[in-house]
Structure 1
Amino acid sequence: MSELPIVILDAVAPTKQRCILNRRGSTVWEVEGDRGKFAVKLGYPIEATSEWAAQEWTALAPAREGAILYRLGASYITYGDWERGTWNIQPWHEGPDLYHVWATCRSEGSEIEPHEGVARSCAESLAALHAQGWAHGDVQPAHFIIGPEKTHLIDLALAHGGAVSEGRDFPYRGCLVHYEAPEISASVLATGEAEPSPEADIYGLGAALLISGTGWRAVEYPDDAPRAVQRQAVVDGKRREVSMPGKLGHLVDDMLSYNPADRPTIDEVVAALL
């Protein structure tokens, strides 16, 4: 996707536009116009190849996220259909993501420890979502934007917690396995689907903090392993012997507990970081 469709050009009348992400099934644009700066997401189906099966849900994801953001009371949200799928327009959030903020902590020989205030701001953004009765379903470092005043939790296309219109909805089939809780991986392996939960989000946040602060995944498997192999390693509990320094050490270990009931709630995570 090298150009924005007419429907977006009509809605935003951009003076500047830049494609910042182009992956199978979606593109994300940074767009500026007279009314401000926005993120524009376009979804379209993934066609089958010799390496992967066709996927239709990617075409629906932007509208599903737009509907969820609207239900959550976010401002300046609009979404709709275009010839290949759906789109949404939402406010642009300035700032680096969690993984980039802690880059110096991962540098060889670095003595800089991950800042607990950054971890707390990520937990607070997730707590705000949980307080409204929703689970994110796709917690990962790239989805925490560390802004100058607050941290924004983005990419809610896979969130669950309320009704989504049938024409926009699709089953949840897991997320990036690095941040997938064992119970989610087990369900996806067994049935092809799962149900996002606050407990699984806690695991995802723990895994996101761990890899951002140390450079290590929570679970050990070959980098090029198929997703089914990755998920089986998660189900088998193949945790790496790596931990965070300071106060985050025991907390992240608890967040990565195999049993969902043994993980702290998001409010307990926030309280532990005060």
Structure 2
Amino acid sequence: MTQPAPQPPLPAGFTPLAPGDPLAIGPFAVVGRIGAGGMGAVYGALDPSGGHVAVKVIHPKYAGDPAYRAQFAREAELLSRVDAECAPAFLGADPAAPQPWLATSFVTGRTLRRHVAAAGVLAGAELTAFAAGTAEALAAVHAAGITHRDVKPANIILSPEGPRVLDFGIARATDDTGEEQGLYGTPGWVAPERLDGRPATPAVDVFAWGGLVVYAATGHGPFGTGDSGTLLARTRAGRPDTEGVPEELRPLVAAALSAEPADRPTAAEALAALLDLAAAGAPGDPRGRLRALLAAAWHGFEGGRGAGPWIAAASLLSLSSAVAGGAGGAAGGLAAGGAAGG
């Protein structure tokens, strides 16, 4: 009896598709699962040209809820506005599909949290490049009229090409004055004005960005460790710990962590200061200067998650037929940069 040919291995960090998972989502052929949460799942997929894509899909039980569907449509609309060197590219969405989906370019690599745990902290020009890249992404987000509201180490991927800011699940238009349904964010990363009930502005992202740089440089957050109550109390007290941040970065980081939003720099100002500090590129082109800094300083970051050949179970030859036929029956999916886990 002829034995079936062995299937190619899944990319690193992927898990096999479960029964009922889609084989195609919109124009994308699904390869494997990246992760799943309470509201949906994120899949690794191939576009018609073989490009690597992350697709996020809402669970069917939530797809029938108009409120969840509307929230998902807002997320897709906000993400479509962002054009940044250090954020994943938006590739499309269908909030009206039976299972709403959105897709972005897939970002390979480890999260900041996992990198620090496995390989240690960042230092020197590498740390400056990290700070500049994440500031650039937030500056682009803010220029698009968006506040991210969930900047933290688990939402930053250190890809081989540079840091990437992911996960716009609780992002909100900066000019959205509608009532919020509670306080969102992670203790230790939520700005103090939010704890006082004041609205989220781009300054809350800058506050969290300051914490990111502390974490990248020291391995701990700006308010240490502890339970939620302890972290929130330290945040209210307004005494972040920046010990261990290099002297040349500490004034900028301390300003970003100021208790009062008005005392913080904007993300664009932080980016400009860092590019000047690094003497990167020619003045007048922040994105080009950032590319020069990353080219000079960002080396040795492995792909990790998502590494390996991306070949659908039936091989690449089945891609066009799977997409054309909608194999698996899922007419929807959502991809938010492929972020999954910490």
**Which of 173, 180, 196 is 1:186 aligned to?**
196
Q: 1:253 to 1:152 in 2, by over 3 A?
A: same
- How far has the Cα of 1:161 moved from its partner? 2.4
Amino acid in the other structure paired with 1:24: G
Once the two structures are superposed, what CA deviation does each residue of 1:229-258 show, in whole Å capped at 9, x if it has no partner?
Answer: 543432233533634123222221221111
Match of 1:244 in 2: 245
Letter in 2 for 1:234: T
> Partners of 1:204 and 1:45 in 2: how far apart?
33
Offset of 1:180 from its aligned partner? Answer: 0.9
| Cα distance change on mapping 1:142 and 1:263 into 2, 3 Å | same
1:127 correspondence with 2:139: yes
Counterpart residue identity of residue 252, structure 2: L
Distance 1:27-1:220 versus aligned 2 partners, 3 A rule? same
CA distance in 2, matches of 1:208, 1:149: 19
Identify the structure with bigger relative contact order (alpha carbons < 8 Å, sequence gap 6+). 2
Alpha-carbon RMSD across the aligned residues, in angstroms, is 3.6
Partner of 1:253: 254
In the superposition, relative to structure 1, how do residues 62 and 105 fare at CA in structure 2: closer, same or farther (>3 Å)?
Answer: same
Within 1, Cα distance between the matches of 2:59 and 2:69?
4
Question: SS of the counterpart of 2:172?
Answer: coil
Kindly tell me: are residues 28 and 195 of structure 1, through their superposed partners in 2, closer, same or farther at Cα, counting changes over 3 Å? farther
In the TM superposition, 1:19-30 aligns within 5 A as 19-30=33-44
Counterpart residue type for residue 200 of structure 1: V
Match of 1:40 among 48, 55, 79: 55
- The residue identity in structure 2 corresponding to 1:23 is G
Q: Give the structure-1-normalised TM-score.
A: 0.73
CA drift at 1:204: 0.6
Q: What are the residue-to-residue correspondences of 1:9-28 with 2, within 5 Å? A: 9-14=24-29, 16-17=31-32, 19-28=33-42
SS of aligned partner of 1:120: helix
Cα contact 1:42–1:62 (8 A) shared by 2: no
Q: Which of the two has higher C-alpha Rg?
A: 2
Deviation at 1:130, TM superposition (A): 1.6
Give the 3 Å change call, closer, same or farther, for CA 237–72 of structure 1 in structure 2.
closer
Q: Which residue in the other structure is 1:175 paired with?
A: 185
Distance 1:176 1:202 in 2: 15
| Partner deviation per Cα, 1:134-160 (whole Å, 9 max, x = no partner) | 221111223333444454322122222
Distance, in Å, in 2 between the alignment partners of 1:4 and 1:244 is 48
Q: Residues 59 and 186 from structure 1, CA distance in 2 versus in 1: closer, same or farther, beyond 3 angstroms?
A: farther
Partner in structure 2 of residue 273 of structure 1: 274
Aligned partner (choices 97, 107, 118) of residue 130 of structure 2: 118
Return the alpha-carbon distance in structure 2 between the equivalents of residues 39 and 3 of structure 1: 20
**Separation of aligned partners in 2, 1:45 and 1:253:** 45
How does the TM-score come out when normalised to structure 2? 0.60
Secondary structure of the 2:222 match is coil
Could you tell me how far apart the structure 2 residues matched to 1:173 and 1:20 are? 28
Q: 1:112, CA displacement in angstroms?
A: 4.9
Change (3 A) 1:137 1:45: farther
> 1 CA distance for matches of 2:153 and 2:242?
20
Identity in percent: 25
Matched AA of 1:259: E
The 5-angstrom pairing of residues 43-122 of structure 1 reads 43-44=58-59, 62-72=72-82, 75-80=90-95, 86-100=100-114, 104-106=119-121, 112-113=123-124, 115-122=127-134
Change (3 A) 1:172 1:139: farther
Contact 2:149 2:185 in 1 (8 A): yes
Deviation string for 1:250-272 (max 9, x for gaps)?
22122111111111121221122
* Counterpart check, 1:140 vs 2:155: no
The number of equivalent residue pairs is 248
Instruction: Summarize the alignment of residues 143-162 of structure 1 with structure 2, pairs less than 5 Å apart.
Output: 143-149=155-161, 151-161=163-173
Asked whether the equivalents of residues 79 and 89 of structure 1 are also in contact (C-alpha less than 8 Å), the reply is no
Residue aligning to 1:50: none
Determine the structure 1 residue equivalent to 2:311.
none
Structure 2 unmatched ranges of 5 or more: 1-16, 84-88, 276-342
Give 3-state SS (helix, strand or coil) of 1:271's partner: helix
Find the aligned partners of 1:196 and 1:229 in 2 and give their Cα distance.
22
Which of residues 216, 221, 225 is equivalent to 1:217?
Answer: 221
Query: C-alpha separation between the residues in 2 aligned to 1:44 and 1:15?
Result: 16
CA distance in 1, matches of 2:20, 2:186: 27
**Closer/same/farther in 2, CA of residues 183 and 200 from structure 1, 3 Å limit:** same
Query: Deviation string for 1:87-140 (max 9, x for gaps)?
Result: 32222123443345555444xxxx955521121111111111122222211112
Q: 1:162 to 1:5 in 2, by over 3 A?
A: farther
